[in-house]
Amino acid sequence: MSILIKGGRVIDPAIGIDDTLDLLINDGKIAKTGKNLDAAGAEVIDAAGKLVTPGLIDIHVHLRDPGYEYKEDIVSGTRAAAAGGFTSVACMPNTNPVNDNKAVTLYIRNKAREEGSVNVFPIGSITKGLKGETLSEMGDLKDAGCIALSDDGKPVVNGEIMRRALEYAKPFGLVLISHAEELSLVGEGVMNDGFVATELGLKGIPWVAEDAATARDVMLAEFTGSRLHVAHVSTKGSVEIVRAAKKRGVKVTCEATPHHFTLTDEAVRGYDTNAKMNPPLRSAEDVAAVRQGLADGTIDVIATDHAPHHIDEKNVEFNVAMNGIVGLETALPLSLRLVAEGVLSLGDMLAKLTCAPARTLGIPRGTLESGAPADVTIIDPERSWTVEAAKLNSKSKNTPFDGWEMKGVAVCTIVGGKVVHQR
């Protein structure tokens, strides 16, 4: 079974390709790239005017399966990923039961293999039951297929537990992903602390709640010499902390979400619960700092923090609504905006969605090199479309981007040499 993608602009930041080329896929692997390729019997896809890139990778997704299938499951979540151009996702362990043991990890991998549209890489929990008390069986989780560990959704409150987790994970080569939030400073906050919160009469979450936690975890990584990845960086201070740590040689990486580099806390006006997330949408100054962090390489990865919630959990008073939004199907056009606005080059932007996330969590993908798994995304960068929440592939429709005019879309997503999405 062969696929020949003809005449597209092939961009692979991993190996430094950016040229109009043909790409041949054979038996689920990248066979070769080159000019005027020919392959008898291959299915031909005309990619003239399109971008041909390594399949996009999202290392921060909540698939909600097992346990919260009414929000999302592996089938719908991976379908949404494919529609958004993603060929691989790493899913967070805050399921029910929590992915803190081999059985859950294997369940996720098996279901993903049998029913999923894209590759799913489970992330195990740092502590059992996300309780922040006892370390998970990290070795066992790694053997079962977890590629990283995180208590995402909650911080590891106790500093010593975080220290021991970093020390223990190190010999297993597992990255710890920090959800940096100092809960005592968050209190009952429901949105960014600042002028908008003052006007709306909503309790604020100050930036220092994130900065303080980021600083602690980064310094623990420095202290232990272990690898740390900071999830969803949203404040100026956090970006600065990571930037300074990288300069000192600390083994730290970090990610930013499309909503944190696109929206400010102004989006909360009107009490839109689809603008409620954690970390909250921040000030314009923070958004500018996150964009600067993306531009100068401080922020390595763009990840969605795809967090589906049922309408019943969002169609309520603002302060009781659940945190989070779906992101898989809007991440690519929002990232393309960064290119249009001159924040990132196309190559750098694609790197943050392909090779950089692969490298960050050690996922053996994110390149079009010969012999690599044939995960390919074909993007029409010019196609305009309107986000219609009701038509999203995700089971949940909680997006603040409903009705937005977008430019750029994945027109074909290929996973392991198989077309899983086309539009």
Q: Which residues contribute to the site for other proteins (CB under 8 A)?
A: 193-195, 197-204, 270-271, 312-313, 315-322
What is the bridge-based pairing of β-strands 376-386 and 301-302? unpaired
Q: Give the per-residue SS3 of 103-166.
A: HHHHHHHHHHHHHCCCEEEEEECCEHHHCCCCECCHHHHHHHCCCEEECCCCCCCCHHHHHHHH
Our measurement of the distance from residue 202's CA atom to the centroid of its chain's CA atoms, rounded to an integer in Å, reads 28
Measured CA to CA in angstroms, residue 358 lies from 52, 123, 142 at distances of: 18, 14, 17
Which region holds residue 98: left if phi is over 0, alpha if psi is between -120 and 50, else beta? beta
Residue among 197 and 372 whose Cβ is closer to other proteins? 197
Measured CA to CA in angstroms, residue 129 lies from 142, 181, 260, 289 at distances of: 17, 18, 28, 34
What is the bridge-based pairing of β-strands 405-415 and 376-386? antiparallel
Residue among 31 and 322 whose Cβ is closer to other proteins? 322
Least distance to other proteins from the beta carbon of 185, Å?
11
Least distance to other proteins from the beta carbon of 409, Å?
31
Residue among 134 and 315 whose Cβ is closer to other proteins? 315
Measured CA to CA, the distance from residue 125 to residue 97 in angstroms comes to: 11
Residue among 75 and 321 whose Cβ is closer to other proteins? 321
Residue 390: exposure state from Cβ atoms within 10 A (0-12, 13-18, ≥19): exposed
Residue among 191 and 332 whose Cβ is closer to other proteins? 191
List strand residue ranges (DSSP E) for 257-404, in order.
Answer: 301-302, 376-386
Least distance to other proteins from the beta carbon of 414, Å?
40
Which region holds residue 317: left if phi is over 0, alpha if psi is between -120 and 50, else beta? beta
Radius of gyration of the chain (CA): 20
Q: Which residues carry out catalysis?
A: 305
What letter would DSSP give residue 265?
G
CB 378 within 8 A of CB 392: no
CB 93 within 8 A of CB 337: no
Least distance to other proteins from the beta carbon of 167, Å?
34
Measured CA to CA, the distance from residue 287 to residue 331 in angstroms comes to: 16
Residue among 75 and 196 whose Cβ is closer to other proteins? 196
Least distance to other proteins from the beta carbon of 310, Å?
9
Residue among 4 and 190 whose Cβ is closer to other proteins? 190
Residue among 321 and 325 whose Cβ is closer to other proteins? 321
CB 54 within 8 A of CB 377: yes
Least distance to other proteins from the beta carbon of 156, Å?
24
Measured CA to CA, the distance from residue 37 to residue 87 in angstroms comes to: 24
Least distance to other proteins from the beta carbon of 202, Å?
5
- Per 3-state DSSP, the chain is made up of helix, strand and coil in percentages (nearest 5) of 35, 25, 40
Least distance to other proteins from the beta carbon of 313, Å?
5
